[in-house]
Structure 1
Amino acid sequence: MAIEMTRERFEELVSDALDEVPGELMALLNNVVILIEEESPPGEGELLGLYEGHALTDRGWDYAGVLPDRITIFRNPTLRICDTEEDVIDEVSVTVVHEIAHHFGIDDARLHQLGWD
């Protein structure tokens, strides 16, 4: 059963999750914007988060003048799989870490090995 939550509260939880990421890692985020959208893109299934851009490990000497990478956290798909606010807090935290990891070039297989799925 999905939980109901205001957008404002969901935004607070994303902000709280970002506050939990060690400052040393946050300082290394480069040219990234973090967004919250209501739904995942059509045809993509029920994504909880999405990283779009050029991972730090893929950036070469010619990386310049590009739009910021995007980390998007999807509100409604997250709420649909959660039963309690505590579930949402946990899921948002995992999703934020997961998408930030993609910025650092860590793929889904490695995240799975590390227990972040």
Structure 2
Amino acid sequence: MPLQVTKEEFDQCVSEALDSIPEQLFKLVDNCVVLVEDEPPHCEDLYGYYDGVPLTERGSDYSGVLPDRIVLFRQPHLNECDDMDELVDEIHTTVVHEIAHHFGIDDARLHELGYD
């Protein structure tokens, strides 16, 4: 049975994960929003994704564009986690993983760093 957490509680966990990112690093995040949706569109076990132009690929012509998006999916997290501590850890891992993509770090490097 999935962990039972209100949307507000889940959003608070996401906020706390974002707050845990070191300030020096978080200041470098540019033109990016973090959103929470209930379910992923096509893949049941997708925890989140990054949609945008990584900082490493932005050139001098990068302007006037909509913000990049980091989207976290509530239900896959709840389905996977047995308690609040596990949920908080998993949300933190997902947030770090997706912010890393914003910085241009690919999945292979994240795997090397222990963020699967």
TM-score class, shorter-chain normalisation, is over 0.9
Task: Name segments (4+ residues, structure 1) moved above 3 Å.
Answer: none
Task: Name the TM-score, length of structure 1 as normaliser.
Answer: 0.96
Q: Aligned residue for 1:4?
A: 4
Q: Aligned residue for 2:59?
A: 60
Q: CA separation in 2, counterparts of 1:8 and 1:78?
A: 14
1:33 Cα deviation after fit: 0.6
Q: CA RMSD in A?
A: 0.8
Q: Map 1:51-90 to 2 at 5 A.
A: 51-90=50-89
Q: Percent identical across equivalent pairs?
A: 55
Q: CA separation in 1, counterparts of 2:3 and 2:100?
A: 27
Q: Map 1:37-116 to 2 at 5 A.
A: 37-41=37-41, 43-116=42-115
Q: Is the 8 A contact 2:48 2:71 kept in 1?
A: yes
Deviation string, structure 1 residues 22-79 (Cα, Å, up to 9, x no partner): 00111000000110110112x2342101100000001011111100000011100110
- Give unmatched runs, 5+ long, in structure 2: none
